[in-house]
Amino acid sequence: MKIGWDLVTRKEYFLSSWKSDDDPSEGEYFLRIVTKGYPQFFTFKGSKKIFRGGSWNGVGFSGYPTHQLSQYRQRFLMNDKQVFLECDILDKSIVSIYKLRASGLGQTYAWTNQSNTRNVISTGVQDECERFALCGANSVCILDGNLPTCECLKGYVPKFPEQWNISYWSNGCVARNVKSDCVNGSSSDGFWKYTEMKLPDTSFSWFNEILSLEDCRNKCLENCSCTSYSNLYVLDGGSGCLLWFDDMVDMRRFTQGGQDLYIRVPASELDNGRRKKMMLIIGITVGGIIFGLTCACALILRKRGVARFIYRKHYESILKKEEIYLPTFDFSVIVKATQNFSSCNKLGEGGFGPVYKGTLTNGQELAVKRLSKNSGQGLEEFKNEVVLIAKLQHRNLVKLLGCCIEEEDIMLIYEYMPNKSLDNFIFDETRRHLLEWPKRFNIICGIARGLLYLHQDSRLRIIHRDLKTSNILLDANLDPKISDFGLARTLLGDQIEANTTKVAGTYGYMPPEYAVRGHFSTKSDVFSYGVIVLEIVSGKKIREFSDPEQCHNLLGYAWRLWSEGRQLELLDEALGERFTPSEATKCIQVGLLCVQQRPEDRPNMSSVVLMLNGEKLLPNPKVPAFYIERDTIPELDALLENCMSRNEVSITVLEAR
């Protein structure tokens, strides 16, 4: 089948999804070629663009690195009569079908002559950077581990810095307040080269198949509205010309397989860049000398065994002082188990550092949490993690198996959770369908039991302080286990609350009394739990959802539906009609009770467990805290502008007011 346009008859050939997995009528997702500007293909949800495959570069589309296209032969036909994409499989022993699923994700099925088994070889969108215009205009999306990060292009700055600082990027970047001298096609402007790029949206572009790259550069300089240029095609060193005008949208940087893009910047920006480059060279030279001397000293210490002794004794003293027996793993064993910390074994990354999957020679699987050199966490968080979780035993808490200390390398070894974290399921367009209602309800109840143990039944009264979906791990049966106790605090005796001048946690999950005044208690975790419950029920992220009708976040949206008696409309559409209404209503009500403004209005976890498992009439919730979108809360905005972390990485150094 072709995808594209017959320009003579104006007939379009496109791909549409089913309405649902069981209903083959036309759904709301479409895969189509858009001919405005230089043609490119998009995935639409109704009329809204949600993914852009990019423009044709002679080998494939710029939205897909060329190394991913080796199993297909693609042809893009473009003339005054037609614009079509055709695709053939090079291996004729394979039969393949590409399907646009009801969820909007593409999926490729394949059969071979040797087997009648159907294999899924592609599942469409793979990461957050593939969301159309995630970073807004004049900004590049870069994947840092599993998390997206947006960076303004050279010569541009965030349009709204206060939003940018809390990872709200959709308003993008604007040109720095530096005047260009471009007049009547004469300019001293230059260009900054970006490599391995997904080229910007070509809807407002001009192209020529003949011009060389140098001619393309000159063509851009002649037009004061031209903002960037690139080769049209990548074969044989590149050919053709593609120009962009005004804002550049929907760019990302690949690790390999992308294209070169040249961004127009004023001459002063280039001079500044050269000065910075020179300073960098000088800094590297001086730093190299210092580093060499440092390494020489460190080598002497290492030969004498001093460094290893100091670090090992430093951490072993913690274990001895706290009367903890924790098995230690040899560094060489962990290196072998993780294949030398291979990126293929990397499970994710948090505030402590990266986490790797490891497999011992006996087949036992491990999760290795390695302290990053750039981490803001260290001795205090290591102590917390070891002291607290080593003394805890509960089916809904992750199990700490041991540690590994090798000079400055510090690692904690946990049981391996094959299904990773909860956020990888409930916020993923494919995996969320695997979380049917009984599983979701089981996860909600399991987290509650784990928190009850921390707050009441363990030998210590523990406040987690960083409870969120990414810190809830799922085992092979999708049972939840609370993890990451690096920021946890203990309360002594009958103490139920405390204050701190160092607020730690993640925006969206922090209650108001803690975010603003540094006041924490068991009710702080209750608030975080309530947010998680509403996320599990709805499949929506607290930090990304916005009520389409009013200026409400997820909490406000849930409250509005509840007060209007339409609470079941909050449920994740992936559930369809497959849920128990009474249980779903109960969970929404419990979630709203847990996110009340005043701590005293929130239930404790023993009450939550009873509510979830009993049949008693529950109290009615009040208006939740932080129910309006963050941009409309002046006091919180002032705090966030100065202190809040990017993405969903835990905050460890906020000063409370």
- 587 found inside a domain: yes
Q: In angstroms, what CA-CA distances link 322 with 316, 325, 387, 390? A: 10, 9, 7, 10
Provide the residue range defining the domain that includes 12: 3-126
**170 & 210 share domain:** yes
**What is the token pair recorded at 127?**
């990461």
**What is the token pair recorded at 56?**
């044709």
**351 & 407 share domain:** yes
**428 & 404 share domain:** no
Rounded to a whole number of angstroms, the distance between the first and last alpha carbons of the chain is: 62
- 273 found inside a domain: no
Alpha-helical (H) ranges within 331-436 are 331-337, 379-390, 423-426
Question: What region, left, alpha or beta, does residue 341 occupy, with left being phi > 0 and alpha being psi -120 to 50 degrees?
Answer: left
Distance separating alpha carbons of residues 365 and 359, to the nearest angstrom:
4
**64 & 20 share domain:** yes
Q: What is the pLDDT of residue 526?
A: 96
- 346 found inside a domain: yes
| Catalytic residue of the set 466, 484, 525, 547 | 466
Q: Which residue has the higher pLDDT, 322 or 634?
A: 322
**406 & 427 share domain:** no
- 176 found inside a domain: yes
Across the range 563-578, mean pLDDT stands at: 92
Does residue 328 surpass a pLDDT of 90? Answer: no
- Domain finish residue from 244, 265, 286: 265
137-164 pLDDT, tens per residue? Answer: 999 999 866 678 899 999 999 998 877 8
408 CB contacts (<8 Å, ≥6 apart)?
307, 311, 373
Pairing, β 11-13 against β 3-6:
antiparallel
Q: Among 212-221, 265-274, 467-476, 623-632, where is mean pLDDT lowest? A: 623-632
The mean predicted confidence, pLDDT, of the chain is 81
Which amino acid is residue 296, in one-letter code? Answer: A
Beta bridge partners of 16: 30
Contact 122, 35 (CB under 8 A): no
Q: What is the pLDDT of residue 307?
A: 39
**345 & 435 share domain:** no
How many domains does one find in the chain? 4
- DSSP class of residue 11? E
- Domain finish residue from 126, 142, 157: 126
Distance separating alpha carbons of residues 557 and 539, to the nearest angstrom:
13
Q: What is the pLDDT of residue 139?
A: 96
Q: What is the pLDDT of residue 519?
A: 82
Q: Which residue has the higher pLDDT, 131 or 71?
A: 131
- 364 found inside a domain: yes
Alpha-helical (H) ranges within 5-160 are none
- 595 found inside a domain: yes
Distance separating alpha carbons of residues 227 and 223, to the nearest angstrom:
9
What CATH code is carried by the domain that includes residue 543? 1.10.510.10
Residue 148 CA, chain-centre distance (Å), reads 5
Distance separating alpha carbons of residues 473 and 484, to the nearest angstrom:
10
Contact 397, 467 (CB under 8 A): no
Distance separating alpha carbons of residues 17 and 25, to the nearest angstrom:
8
Beta bridge partners of 650: none
**550 & 640 share domain:** yes
Q: What is the pLDDT of residue 653?
A: 43
Q: How many residues does the chain have?
A: 657
**SS3 assignment, position 357:** strand
Catalytic annotation present for 466? yes
pLDDT band at 621 (very low <50, low <70, confident <90, very high): very high
Q: What is the pLDDT of residue 531?
A: 96
**261 & 340 share domain:** no
pLDDT band at 374 (very low <50, low <70, confident <90, very high): low
**134 & 53 share domain:** no
**328 & 364 share domain:** yes
Alpha-helical (H) ranges within 198-305 are 213-222, 267-304
What CATH code is carried by the domain that includes residue 326? 3.30.200.20
Residue 502 CA, chain-centre distance (Å), reads 26
- Domain finish residue from 77, 102, 126: 126
**SS3 assignment, position 40:** strand
In this structure, how many other beta carbons lie within 10 angstroms of the beta carbon of residue 96? 18
376-430 pLDDT, tens per residue? Answer: 555 566 666 777 777 777 889 998 888 888 767 788 899 999 998 999 999 998 8
**SS3 assignment, position 65:** coil
Distance separating alpha carbons of residues 565 and 559, to the nearest angstrom:
10
Residue 338 CA, chain-centre distance (Å), reads 23
Contact 413, 368 (CB under 8 A): yes
**610 & 473 share domain:** yes
pLDDT band at 644 (very low <50, low <70, confident <90, very high): very low
- 289 found inside a domain: no
Does residue 105 surpass a pLDDT of 60? Answer: yes
**566 & 613 share domain:** yes
Across the range 109-116, mean pLDDT stands at: 72
Q: Which residue has the higher pLDDT, 110 or 292?
A: 110
pLDDT band at 657 (very low <50, low <70, confident <90, very high): very low
Q: Which residue has the higher pLDDT, 212 or 352?
A: 212
Contact 602, 611 (CB under 8 A): no
- Phi, psi values for residue 328, rounded to 5°: -110, 140
> Pick from 91, 93, 92, 87: which is nearest to 106 by CA?
87
- 636 found inside a domain: yes
